[in-house]
Each structure stands twice: as structure tokens, then as C-alpha cells.
Amino acid sequence: MKIPNRIAAVALALAACLVPLVSPGPAAAKDGPLRVAVTLSDLGCAARAVGGSDVEVTVLCPGGMDPHYLPAKPSLSRKLGQADALLFNGLELEIGWLPPLLEKARNPRVRPGAPGMIDCSAALDAVLDVPSGAVDRGLGDIHPQGNPHYTVDPRRMIAVVELVGRRFGELDPPHAAAYRDRAEAYAAQLRERLPVWRERTAALRARHVLLNHQHWNYLCDWLGLDVIGEIEHRPGIAASPRHVQDMVEKSRALGDVVVVAASWDHLDVVREVAGRAGASLAVLPGHSGAEPGTDDYLAFLDVVTRRLAEAAAAPGKE
Ligand SMILES: [Zn+2]
């Protein structure tokens, strides 16, 4: 399927969620905090930091679960049914489960086109890894619009935080100044940590990085790391023995390779490749909350950068 057809298909899928009811109007007309559903735990951190006591945040995909494959449970559509706003990642990351949940929720406040629908990918200045040729999700490619995993890059999260501050202010004008101030304060906290995290991973810039999935490309882009490829054949498609052999040979020829994976990946394959490649291995929490002590986004990035630094300091295994 060509890309324009894909976009049309997605538009149709989203249109199916349209609910022809009364215009939702600003959510702030009601009393109490703004009820915000978020798809990812990282976006939940942004929503809580920006919203403070003016919002009540519900995370749909727990931090330890691969967000490509969340089961669309009825309990999640009930949560969406109560929401005044929905923050989602976009770039089709949630395409397998969010449209059916929205359809079941039948909530006019969070339907495509409603003010409460906040696509956080709108904050991006550029999307990485956009396919140059035809792509087909039917063949298993799960990044047809490019790489959706921008929330693990704190620079991109600063832009998301600023976007959330503006959008919350539009939904809830009486608290707009508070949202703006909290967004600025959280963005400043993130900006302050950027040089610390970059410095911590300095040794990794002298090595090469082999990813399991394209989950870490935005992070590697920010840190200036040399990504030599992925163990997956294509995003979401398991590696063939031939592709694994190619990656092992490439890694051995380059030397100094660190394999990077998320804790929800198929780690038996990842460990086997790292072992055969003589590479060191970093298994990282995929999102905030994926491990104890990473519930907060800043703590999550602390763990990620520490673990990368440890892997950079570890010799590869021959
Ligand atoms: Zn992915």
C-alpha cells in the first residue's frame, strides 16, 4: 500500500470514531480537575508536571509494556469515556488499540477533531526514519509514518511539555497561567539536566550502537551516538537468520559495539546477538515507570543514561 492510501486508511479508521453528538465545548465548564487520559507513561509525567492539582491523570499503557501492542481492554475504553482530554503519542504508535478504544468510549470530548484530542507529535520539528519507499503494515512494518519513539529524547519532551502547557490552557482558560508557569518550570528542569545526561554518556560516543528496535533512535540522535542498525529486520518484524548474521558480522568488523534493547524486547535473541557479536549489552526501561525508581521522567532518564554509561565502560565479550 502506498503512503497516501495508508493515510486515507488511517483517516477512515479515525473517522469511524466520530460521534455525531453535541459539540463538546471547553472541558473547563465543569467543576473539579481536568480529567486527562494519556496513552504513554512519559506523557503522563508531562501531564502531571504541567497540570499539577488542576488535572487528574490516567495512564492507559503502563510504562513496562510495549506501546505497539497494548491489549484493547474494555476497562481502558471506560477510562476514555470519562476523560476531558487525551494526550497521545501519534505517528501511528497507538494505531492498533486506540481507535477501537475511542470508538467504544463514544466520548465527544475525545474524538478526532475535538479540542481535547492532543497529538503530542505535533510538537516535533522533524520525524526520524521516515520510510523512503512504499510501506505496508500488513507485512508487519509498524513505523509507516516514521519513527514514533520521540518521548525517550528529553529535548523533544521539552517541546511536548510546552505544547501541553498551551493546550491545557486552551481547554481550561481560568488556569491557563498556572499551566504555562508549570510547563516553563518543568522544561527548565529538563534543560538543566541535558548537559549532565550527555556528559555521563560521553564514552559511548567512541563506540557504536546496535539497537534491537528503533525505540532509541531519537535518544541516540540527541546523544550523538553512531547507530549501525537494528537486530529487527524491519520495525516490528523479527530478524531472519541471514539478517542476524549480517548484524553480527558488521559488529565484529567494527568492534566496540554496544547492543541496546528495551526490557520488553525478546531478550533471548538480543543476548544471543550481543554474545556472538562480542558486544556489551544495555537493557533499558522502555518508558518511565518500566522499572521501580523510574516513575518520574527525570529519574527514568537518570537510569537510562547511567545504564548506557555502564555498558560503555564494559568490555565486549569475546
Ligand atoms: Zn516502534
Residues 216 and 101 occupy one common structural domain? no
- Per-residue pLDDT tens digits for 49-76: 999 999 999 999 999 999 999 999 999 9
Written as one letter, the residue type at 22 is: V
Q: Is-contact 112 140, C-beta < 8 A?
A: no
**110's grid cell:** 475525545
Residues 230 and 130 occupy one common structural domain? no
Residue 74 falls within a domain, yes or no? yes
How many distinct structural domains can be found in the chain?
Answer: 2
Give the pLDDT band of residue 313 (cuts 50, 70, 90).
very high
Q: Is-contact 195 177, C-beta < 8 A?
A: no
Residues 227 and 139 occupy one common structural domain? no
Domain that holds residue 187: 3-193
Residue 31 falls within a domain, yes or no? yes
Residues 233 and 179 occupy one common structural domain? no
Q: Is-contact 66 262, C-beta < 8 A?
A: yes
Distance 236 CA to ligand 1 centre (A): 7
Task: Reduce the DSSP state of residue 38 to 3 states and report it.
Answer: strand
Residue 318 falls within a domain, yes or no? no
- Per-residue pLDDT tens digits for 251-308: 999 999 999 999 999 999 999 999 999 999 999 999 999 999 999 999 999 999 999 9
Distance 27 CA to ligand 1 centre (A): 32
Cβ contacts of residue 285 below 8 Å, gap of 6+? 63, 64, 262, 263, 291, 294, 300, 303, 304
Distance 149 CA to ligand 1 centre (A): 6
**Of the residues 142, 164, 193, the one at which a domain ends:** 193
What backbone phi and psi angles, to 5 degrees, belong to 48? -70, -40
Residues 160 and 252 occupy one common structural domain? no
- Per-residue pLDDT tens digits for 166-178: 999 999 999 999 9
- Interatomic CA distance for residues 58 and 79, integer angstroms: 8
Distance 213 CA to ligand 1 centre (A): 6
Distance 251 CA to ligand 1 centre (A): 22
Q: Which residue has the cell 481492554?
A: 73
For residue 142, give Cα distances in angstroms to 2, 284, 290: 14, 21, 21
Q: Is-contact 307 287, C-beta < 8 A?
A: no
Which whole number is the average pLDDT over 155-161?
A: 98
Residues 213 and 183 occupy one common structural domain? no
Distance 8 CA to ligand 1 centre (A): 21
- Per-residue pLDDT tens digits for 118-139: 999 999 999 999 988 776 666 6
Q: Is-contact 84 171, C-beta < 8 A?
A: yes
- Interatomic CA distance for residues 12 and 271, integer angstroms: 41
Q: What is the DSSP letter of 212?
A: S
Distance 92 CA to ligand 1 centre (A): 9
